[in-house]
């Protein structure tokens, strides 16, 4: 019922979706296969809410949705009446000829031969001595449902009703969409995927919430949405299957890695495309030179087919070839080219880039999809480092303003109202402290700035949120307009300090 409503609201004809429980093939075929077909049904995210309003909406989402941005646990299944303490779980591995038994405890842990495990995956991995997804490993007794099936039932029980609040409606629509994604999946760009969570970048908080929802609904993105660029296309699809043999195979799949396990990858800084500018081994050297001049490239891949990279030519290799023979051909100027997967972490490639100046980026099908050069890495790290430098400069300026105009005793008393931590030194102050201090009437009067305090503090609050996002790691660079806001705030404060 819910699925049909939201597809219809998007203006897509899906009457048969109301019948999705019957497994009707025609109804499945009529689901939109791209995420952008469904995004139009989402309410726009207001940009003028206060912090208090945003907090209330966030709390409403948490209340309406049991899992609220975290992975479902065994304890949730117990509280939902789907498991009971003392119940036996079985993990069978037919191909290995093994069987393991566990007991559900009242605190949501699993006990195996007197030893407790906090999650199904840790229990399954311990007994099998290999990393496993325990939700696909354990089933209730012999022949009972697998834990991931119970997880699905719990999600069905917890579907929130529409209350008219934008935050609640977004959660409800997102749930209804995720529940309809099947093994064939839905294609979308990373940016379109993030829009379902009302996000425009992959900060740690956003990624944690997305990962939790994907795990809860047994979904994956291929390739991993954290390892590619924002405009790259991923396939959101269901990872589970329905036969015992396939369950064993599914259990062998590790759970989705957390954001902390994924650093910046080659895919994050290389826009993957099948239209990489390249030449064939039979091309002329003049053709390669012309393409490099037209595109301002320092190198060009030489490719015989989608999965057949023969090497590359560079200005240096061309110069050497022509120095040896003024009639040198393309093949005479070719050099080996290092091919690396899109999900290779950038920090592990720095030595290769230093040696070769570039690497070719390959997708999961071993097809050439991009090039990363030393210049790309310098640019990427520069864009990531700039916010940190500006944040540090802003912090120093605000600390100087406070220390020059307010004594530490008054600072301590103001900060104590919003925190139990005792402030005894200006070096302990954070951005939140600066805001609290500047909101004090006597402090603002002492500064004697010809500025509207509320407007100034709103701007400072916006920058504090960006600061928190950056410090907690965000693989996506801060937008240029936000960088300009930092620079303008710093410029404004310097005028009053130096003046």
- Tell whether 423 and 471 lie within a shared domain: yes
Q: Which of 332, 366, 400 is the last residue of a domain?
A: 366
Residue 76 corresponds to which tokens in the numbers above? 């949730």
Asked if residue 311 belongs to a domain, the reply is yes
Sign of the C-alpha dihedral computed for residues 61, 241, 32 and 195 taken in this order: positive
Q: What is the percentage of the chain residues whose pLDDT exceeds 70?
A: 76
Question: Under DSSP, is residue 416 helix (H, G, I), strand (E, B) or coil?
Answer: helix
The answer to whether 223 and 195 are in contact (CB under 8 A) is no
Asked if residue 357 belongs to a domain, the reply is yes
- Sequence length of the chain is 499
- The CA angle 147-148-153, to the nearest 5 degrees, is 95
- Domain membership of residue 6 as a residue range: 1-31
Cα separation, 242 vs 462, in Å, equals 48
For residue range 33-52, what is the model confidence (pLDDT) as tens digits?
A: 444 443 333 333 333 434 44
Q: Which of 95, 121, 154 is the last residue of a domain?
A: 154
For residue range 351-375, what is the model confidence (pLDDT) as tens digits?
A: 999 899 999 999 888 899 889 999 8
In this prediction, residue 21 has a pLDDT band, given cuts at 50, 70 and 90, of: very low
Residue 225, pLDDT > 70, answer yes
Residue 8, pLDDT > 60, answer no
Q: What is the percentage of the chain residues whose pLDDT exceeds 90?
A: 37
**18: CB partners within 8 A, 6+ apart:** 1, 3, 4
- Count of domains observed in the chain: 4
- Tell whether 353 and 444 lie within a shared domain: no
Cα separation, 242 vs 149, in Å, equals 10
CATH of the domain at 284: 3.10.580.10
Q: Which of 132, 154, 176 is the last residue of a domain?
A: 154
In this prediction, residue 30 has a pLDDT band, given cuts at 50, 70 and 90, of: very low
In this prediction, residue 281 has a pLDDT band, given cuts at 50, 70 and 90, of: very high
Name the nearest CA neighbour of 437 among 411, 419, 461: 411
- Tell whether 283 and 352 lie within a shared domain: yes
Asked if residue 143 belongs to a domain, the reply is yes
Q: Which residues pair with 295 in a beta bridge?
A: none
- Tell whether 84 and 26 lie within a shared domain: no
Report pLDDT for 65. 40
List the helix and strand counts (H, then E) for the chain: 23, 13
For residue range 313-353, what is the model confidence (pLDDT) as tens digits?
A: 999 999 999 999 999 999 999 999 999 998 888 889 999 99
- Tell whether 398 and 434 lie within a shared domain: yes
Asked if residue 409 belongs to a domain, the reply is yes
- Tell whether 489 and 384 lie within a shared domain: yes
Helices within 185-307 (DSSP H only): 190-195, 204-216, 244-251, 266-269, 285-295
DSSP secondary structure string for all residues of 135-159: HHHEEETTT--BHHHHHHHHHHHTP
- Tell whether 18 and 81 lie within a shared domain: no
């Amino acid at each position: 019922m819910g699925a049909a409503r939201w597809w219809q609201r998007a203006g897509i004809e899906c009457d048969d979706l109301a019948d999705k429980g019957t497994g009707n093939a025609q109804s499945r075929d009529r689901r939109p296969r791209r995420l952008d077909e469904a995004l139009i049904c989402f309410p726009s995210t207001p940009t003028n809410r206060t912090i208090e309003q945003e907090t209330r909406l966030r709390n409403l989402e948490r209340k309406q949705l049991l899992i609220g941005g975290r992975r479902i646990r065994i304890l949730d299944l117990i509280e939902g009446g789907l498991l009971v303490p003392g119940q036996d779980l079985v993990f069978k591995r037919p191909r290995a000829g093994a069987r393991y038994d566990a007991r559900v405890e009242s605190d949501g842990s699993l006990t195996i031969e007197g030893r407790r495990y906090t999650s199904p995956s840790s229990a399954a991995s311990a007994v099998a001595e290999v990393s496993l997804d325990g939700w696909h490993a354990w089933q209730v007794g012999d022949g009972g449902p697998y834990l991931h099936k119970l997880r699905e039932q719990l999600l069905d029980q917890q579907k929130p009703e529409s209350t008219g609040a934008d935050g609640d409606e977004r959660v409800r629509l997102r749930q209804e969409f995720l529940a309809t994604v099947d093994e064939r999946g839905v294609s979308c760009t990373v940016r379109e995927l993030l829009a379902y969570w009302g996000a425009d970048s992959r900060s740690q908080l956003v990624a944690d919430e997305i990962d939790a929802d994907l795990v809860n609904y047994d979904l994956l993105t291929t390739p991993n949405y954290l390892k590619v660029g924002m405009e790259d296309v991923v396939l959101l699809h269901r990872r589970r299957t329905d036969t015992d043999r396939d369950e064993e195979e599914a259990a062998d799949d590790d759970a989705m890695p957390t954001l902390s396990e994924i650093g910046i990858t080659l895919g994050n800084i290389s826009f993957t495309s099948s239209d990489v500018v390249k030449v064939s081994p039979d091309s002329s050297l003049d053709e390669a030179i012309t393409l490099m001049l037209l595109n301002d490239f320092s190198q060009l891949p030489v490719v015989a087919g989608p999965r057949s990279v023969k090497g590359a030519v560079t200005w240096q290799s061309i110069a050497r070839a022509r120095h040896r023979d003024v009639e040198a051909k393309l093949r005479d100027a070719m050099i080996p080219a290092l091919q690396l997967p899109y999900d290779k972490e950038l920090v592990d490639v720095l030595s290769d880039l230093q040696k070769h100046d570039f690497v070719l980026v390959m997708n999961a099908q071993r097809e050439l999809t991009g090039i990363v050069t030393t210049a790309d890495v310098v640019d990427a790290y520069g864009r990531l480092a700039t916010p940190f430098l500006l944040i540090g400069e802003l912090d120093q300026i605000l600390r100087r303003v406070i220390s020059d105009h307010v004594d530490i005793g008054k600072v301590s008393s103001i900060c104590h109202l919003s925190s139990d931590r005792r402030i005894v030194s200006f070096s302990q102050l954070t951005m939140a402290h600066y805001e609290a201090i500047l909101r004090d009437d006597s402090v603002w009067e002492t500064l004697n700035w010809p500025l509207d305090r509320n407007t100034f503090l709103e701007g400072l609050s916006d920058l504090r949120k960006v600061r928190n996002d950056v410090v907690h790691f965000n693989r996506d660079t801060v937008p240029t307009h936000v960088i300009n806001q930092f620079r303008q705030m710093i410029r404004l404060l310097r005028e009053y300090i130096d003046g």
